[in-house]
Chains A and B, each alone.
Chain A
Amino acid sequence: MEHNEILSSTKQDSPEVIPSLIKFIASNEVAGFDSMEDICSLNNQYQMNGFQPVSLSSEETEAAAILSQNHVSRPIKSHLASAISISMPSSPLEVHLQNTKRVLFSDHGETMFSNGILDSSAACKTASTELPRQAKFHSQPMPTGSTYPEAIVGDKFPNQSESQARNPRIERLKDKRFDSFKTWSGKLERQLSNLRGKPQESELENNTTQNSEMEILPVDRYFDALEGPELDTLKASEELVLPEDKKWPFLLRYPISSFGICLGMSSQAIMWKTLATSPSMNFLHVSSNVNFSLWCISAALIAIVSFIYLLKVIFYFEAVRREYYHPIRVNFFFAPWIAFLFLALGVPPSVAEHLPPALWYILMTPVFCFELKIYGQWMSGGQRRLSKVANPSNHLSIVGNFVGALLGASMGLKEGPIFFFAIGLAHYIVLFVTLYQRLPTNATLPKELHPVFFLFVAAPSVASMAWTKIQGSFDYGSRIAYFIALFLYFSLAVRVNFFRGFRFSLAWWAYTFPMTGAAIATIRYSNEVTNIVTRSLSVTLSAIAILTVTALLITTILHAFVLQDLFPNDIAIAISERRRKTSKKWYHLRTGSSDTKEIENFLKFGSSDNKDIEASLKPPSCKPEEV
């Protein structure tokens, strides 16, 4: 009932708040404008159909339930009385100038009763702290009754043949707004539900699905629309193609960076195995049971995470595709394979003494294919050139090579490990130089220190271990790589104060495996050079790794069960293909649309070829000079 209170309170407040610039017309003052009679009749209509609103959160379901029980008059009346109709296009400046109350007010009205409108306003919670999105253009408020029949004709909602007793979760699945992200625009799901014997849905939806043809987003769109070290925060001027205020289906919220947990846990398993089996660490008397239990946990985790992501691939392939085109998330596509490789590396002796070499070939094939694609893009792809997209997460694509080399050499293979080591080394040099340069054209490098920087430590430490296994002993090559890793670790560790103020995300787990990797490399080094310094260093680094993983585990559990925001809406995959038309109109008023278009196109396609291989947008025919 809080909604009604807020509505009534804001209704009282609204006269003072609203400036005279904008003319507010209460809807019930205008004749024929959402009149009560129509509302009542429409409500009755939808009552008869037993139609229920779809994909509402719990509060909204409550409110809708109230409505559906024919207590129409009071909420609707207050809503109508307080409904506003803004008669001019909203502009960013003006919304900013207005206070948040207006957003709150219109928000509640709109979100509660106009689910069908895609461009509903921002979530109320964040309205007080910031105005992430502007108020949209509201032509007229849509009370509940009128929305759904229109929307059926429009293209938004499922038909009326659904029975009343329907699980809200399945309702969410049937929400057509997410169809564009589903595999084959939801057709697969319909097929599956047909197979399961559910009633056939009407042909109406097939004709009226909205533009489910999602084009490939060029990488510039990601840079324009997103910001932040992991490119997952939406810029203020952007909009999403999915509703921002709803909790999206779980699978849509499940990012590929969840595989980071697998990386973190399985590397811990390897570390405990190394601790248990290293001769220089015998003084710790670590039992191999720890390795065994951790390995089992990691195996279970990998199975679960892979299964969920497989479901996402099956049901929401479009979302997976968008993640693939995200310049940072694409590197996480290596994470599953690296996790499998870690599992194979950390396998307890009690489970398997020797692994078959065929397993190595099977695991390395996807890594090889991904590499061909991504390194090829660096070399000759149109827009995804390294000077633009280089970011520390690219280390994930390099580390895969070294981990594969390590595993292969442990299995006794000879040529394959050298192959992957060579490729990894060559591209690591390129990436390392590029990242150190921090080129001005680089759009993805985080300005502040972020845990992603710990990935710098991963490649040299794993490379040193791989080289040791290939050569048979911890020779000079391994030592050089190891000392580089150590230096990078220390230079990040002394700056730990600057790693503050970032929002926790599951990807942070991926940044723990470099610390574990450094610890393992140190243990191996201490095997070679056994003295008090190396031993204490091993113990220290292992302790830090264990502490970090524990802290991360606690934070994860906290976010999962207490704060319940472990999987927030994955904004990064839902950016739209072009900027909002209203903002373009606004630019038009200021600068003239043709100039803006020219400048935009120039910036987008300035230095690329006419026939851009990687982008789907065609550059304009006029070729500008080099940037």
Chain B
Amino acid sequence: MASTQSEIEIVVDASPVAAQEHRRLFIIVAKRSISSVLTRFHAGYFRISLSLGGQTLLWKTLIDPSHGSNPPWRLLQTLPPLCFILLWSLALFTNVLLSLLYISRCFFRFRMVEAEFLHHVGVNYFFAPWISWFLLLQSAPFVAPNTVSYLVLWWVFAVPVVTLDVKIYGQWFTKGKQFLTLVANPTSQLSVIGNLVGSRAAAQMGWKESAVCLFSLGMVHYLVLFVTLYQRLPGGDRLPATLRPVFSLFVAAPSMASLAWESIAGRFDTASKMLLFLSLFLFASLLCRPTLFKKSMRRFSIAWWAYSFPVTILALAATDYAEEVKTGIARGLMLLLTALSVLIFMSLTLLTAFNSRMLLPDDDPIVCLSVH
């Protein structure tokens, strides 16, 4: 009798109350994780969608049948178009996901969004979603440039870009505290790139005037920004060391300008060549200064994705250049840059997959600085 009394009875209470509690617990945990995700998410994560968009655009240009004169690409054209559609769908999915995340952040963490907007680095990444959408639009396999849907979508994406332009560029030369010498940093070139991408999309539609308008907007501010960034006035060096990869945006802006001018002028003429060469020189210059990036390469962060987009755009511009000039050097350059861009993209994808834990760190510079 004593043995039976000392038995411990475990009763699993399968009553609905307990199940509800479990569900509540689960919801709480889910909410917490989503909440933490929303807290730590910021517009810089759109670098991923930027890179994806750039890659799809590059591949679209490469497998374009009009490039049939280049022998290596005939190989690529044998690939089923399914691969490209898959890539594009992936880009679309990522973009949608990130956009939804950011919209929910706007709803639930509006204060943080506002703080991000006031931060001198964070504000430029507000252009990033629109640039990614523009890239997706241009590389869409089923939306041709002369359709109405293209036009409508162009307007949907262009209006925010112009609004942001007016706000940010106007701040540069009018507002008390946020003037250019203080806030200029390499990410400011994203605003320029936004204008240039919109210009290229417009030119492809046939809307030359809007294209030239956006192009001139972008270029004039690029001129000012280029000089300011090169001068590196004291007091303007507030870029944290972990964000050093954004220096590669120096490469992206002239290449994008080169592409945009090519769409406007119709062919890859001298101005486009000059912009491409400038971009190549800046690329070589950055390659020769690896110590610049040493500190930021110690730990994986979302900033590493900043490497992919500029190299992809450079490869795109080099492709168009090789198409125009058709010399051996140009072709070699195109091959090299394309290979490099694909390599960087793949490595970054793998690194992100393996380091997914570190994707939303506690001490991200933009989040920390914007909170304080």
Which residues of A come within 8 Å of B, CB atoms?
A: 371-373, 375-376, 378-380, 385-388, 390, 415, 418-419, 421-423, 425-427, 429-430, 433-434, 439, 441, 470-471, 606-609, 611, 613, 626-627
**Is B277's CB under 8 angstroms from A626's CB?**
no
Given A379-B230, A426-B226, A613-B291, A626 and B235 touching (CB < 8 A)? Answer: yes
Residues on B with C-beta less than 8 A from A376 are 285-286, 288-289
8 Å CB contact of B241 from A388, A418, A609: A609
CA gap between A372 and B329 in the complex, in Å: 20
**Is B234's CB under 8 angstroms from A430's CB?**
no
14 A-B residue pairs with Cβ-Cβ distance under 8 Å, sorted by A, are A372-B288, A376-B289, A378-B232, A385-B232, A385-B234, A415-B329, A421-B274, A425-B274, A429-B227, A434-B227, A439-B233, A607-B235, A626-B234, A626-B235
**Is A627's CB under 8 angstroms from B231's CB?**
no
Query: Closest CB-CB distance, A420 to chain B, in whole Å?
Result: 8
Query: Closest CB-CB distance, A411 to chain B, in whole Å?
Result: 16
8 Å CB contact of A418 from B274, B285, B289: B274
Interface size on B, residues (CB 8 A): 36
Query: Closest CB-CB distance, A429 to chain B, in whole Å?
Result: 7
**B278 is an interface residue with CB less than 8 A from chain A:** yes
**B96 is an interface residue with CB less than 8 A from chain A:** no
Query: Closest CB-CB distance, B80 to chain A, in whole Å?
Result: 36
**Is B231's CB under 8 angstroms from A423's CB?**
no
- Most chain B CB within 10 A, of A372, A422, A626, is at A422
**Is B247's CB under 8 angstroms from A433's CB?**
no
Question: Which residues between 303 and 341 of chain B lie within 8 Å of chain A, taking CB atoms?
Answer: 325, 327, 329-330
Known contacts A607-B237, A626-B234, then 5 further A-B pairs from the complex at CB < 8 Å, ordered by chain A residue: A418-B274, A433-B231, A441-B234, A608-B237, A627-B234
Nearest 6 CB-CB pairings of A with B: A422-B274, A385-B232, A419-B277, A422-B277, A607-B234, A430-B230
**Is A379's CB under 8 angstroms from B229's CB?**
yes
CA gap between A155 and B125 in the complex, in Å: 62
- Most chain A CB within 10 A, of B226, B231, B235, B329, is at B231
Query: Closest CB-CB distance, B14 to chain A, in whole Å?
Result: 61
CA gap between A376 and B283 in the complex, in Å: 10
8 Å CB contact of A611 from B234, B295, B325: B295
Residues on B with C-beta less than 8 A from A433 are 227, 231
Residues on B with C-beta less than 8 A from A421 are 274
Given A379-B250, A380-B247, A626 and B238 touching (CB < 8 A)? Answer: yes
Residues 248-275 of B, flagged 1 when their CB comes within 8 A of A and 0 if not, give 0010000000000000000000100111
CA gap between A390 and B327 in the complex, in Å: 38
**B292 is an interface residue with CB less than 8 A from chain A:** yes
- Most chain B CB within 10 A, of A378, A471, A606, is at A378
CA gap between A608 and B327 in the complex, in Å: 44
CA gap between A439 and B292 in the complex, in Å: 26
Q: Look across to chain B and name the residue whose beta carbon is closest to the beta carbon of A467.
A: B270
Residues on B with C-beta less than 8 A from A627 are 234-235
**B18 is an interface residue with CB less than 8 A from chain A:** no
**Is A380's CB under 8 angstroms from B273's CB?**
no
Query: Closest CB-CB distance, B221 to chain A, in whole Å?
Result: 14
CA gap between A418 and B227 in the complex, in Å: 21
**B223 is an interface residue with CB less than 8 A from chain A:** yes
Residues on A with C-beta less than 8 A from B235 are 607, 626-627
Residues on A with C-beta less than 8 A from B325 are 415
Q: Look across to chain A and name the residue whose beta carbon is closest to the beta carbon of B282.
A: A379
CA gap between A171 and B288 in the complex, in Å: 44
Which residues of B come within 8 Å of A, CB atoms?
A: 223, 226-227, 229-235, 237-238, 241, 247, 250, 270, 273-275, 277-278, 280-282, 284-286, 288-289, 291-292, 295, 325, 327, 329-330
Given A387-B232, A423-B277, A379 and B285 touching (CB < 8 A)? Answer: yes
Query: Closest CB-CB distance, A441 to chain B, in whole Å?
Result: 6
CA gap between A373 and B275 in the complex, in Å: 20
Residues on A with C-beta less than 8 A from B270 are 418, 470-471
Given A418-B270, A607-B237, A385 and B277 touching (CB < 8 A)? Answer: no
Residues on B with C-beta less than 8 A from A385 are 231-232, 234
**Is A626's CB under 8 angstroms from B250's CB?**
no
Q: Look across to chain A and name the residue whose beta carbon is closest to the beta carbon of B271.
A: A422
CA gap between A373 and B232 in the complex, in Å: 16
Q: Look across to chain A and name the residue whose beta carbon is closest to the beta carbon of B289.
A: A376
CA gap between A433 and B286 in the complex, in Å: 23
**Is A387's CB under 8 angstroms from B278's CB?**
no
Residues on A with C-beta less than 8 A from B223 are 429
**Is A418's CB under 8 angstroms from B277's CB?**
yes
Residues on B with C-beta less than 8 A from A607 are 234-235, 237
**Is A378's CB under 8 angstroms from B230's CB?**
yes
8 Å CB contact of B232 from A375, A386, A429: A386
Q: Look across to chain A and name the residue whose beta carbon is closest to the beta carbon of B254.
A: A426
CA gap between A607 and B327 in the complex, in Å: 46
CA gap between A588 and B281 in the complex, in Å: 49
Residues on B with C-beta less than 8 A from A606 are 234
CA gap between A471 and B223 in the complex, in Å: 24
Query: Closest CB-CB distance, A397 to chain B, in whole Å?
Result: 13
Query: Closest CB-CB distance, A419 to chain B, in whole Å?
Result: 4
Residues on A with C-beta less than 8 A from B250 are 379
Residues on B with C-beta less than 8 A from A386 are 230-232
Residues on A with C-beta less than 8 A from B291 are 613
- Most chain B CB within 10 A, of A375, A388, A415, A425, is at A415
Query: Closest CB-CB distance, B328 to chain A, in whole Å?
Result: 12
Q: Look across to chain B and name the residue whose beta carbon is closest to the beta carbon of A613.
A: B291
Query: Closest CB-CB distance, A422 to chain B, in whole Å?
Result: 4
8 Å CB contact of A387 from B231, B288, B330: B231
CA gap between A37 and B147 in the complex, in Å: 109
**Is B226's CB under 8 angstroms from A430's CB?**
yes
Residues on B with C-beta less than 8 A from A375 are 281, 285
Q: Look across to chain A and name the residue whose beta carbon is closest to the beta carbon of B330.
A: A415
Query: Closest CB-CB distance, A300 to chain B, in whole Å?
Result: 35
Q: Look across to chain A and name the residue whose beta carbon is closest to the beta carbon of B241.
A: A609
Q: Look across to chain A and name the residue whose beta carbon is closest to the beta carbon of B279.
A: A422
Q: Look across to chain A and name the residue whose beta carbon is closest to the beta carbon of B321.
A: A415
Residues on B with C-beta less than 8 A from A425 are 274
CA gap between A376 and B293 in the complex, in Å: 14
8 Å CB contact of B292 from A380, A434, A626: A380
Q: Look across to chain B and name the residue whose beta carbon is closest to the beta carbon of A423.
A: B281
Query: Closest CB-CB distance, B276 to chain A, in whole Å?
Result: 8
CA gap between A418 and B234 in the complex, in Å: 33
CA gap between A14 and B347 in the complex, in Å: 81
CA gap between A284 and B114 in the complex, in Å: 72
Residues on A with C-beta less than 8 A from B241 are 609
CA gap between A422 and B237 in the complex, in Å: 27
CA gap between A449 and B280 in the complex, in Å: 37
CA gap between A607 and B234 in the complex, in Å: 6
CA gap between A242 and B124 in the complex, in Å: 53
Residues on A with C-beta less than 8 A from B277 are 418-419, 422-423
**Is B278's CB under 8 angstroms from A426's CB?**
yes
Q: Look across to chain B and name the residue whose beta carbon is closest to the beta carbon of A470.
A: B270
CA gap between A425 and B270 in the complex, in Å: 13
Query: Closest CB-CB distance, A47 to chain B, in whole Å?
Result: 58
Query: Closest CB-CB distance, A627 to chain B, in whole Å?
Result: 5
- Most chain A CB within 10 A, of B229, B238, B289, is at B289
Residues on B with C-beta less than 8 A from A415 are 273, 325, 327, 329-330
8 Å CB contact of A422 from B227, B232, B273, B330: B273
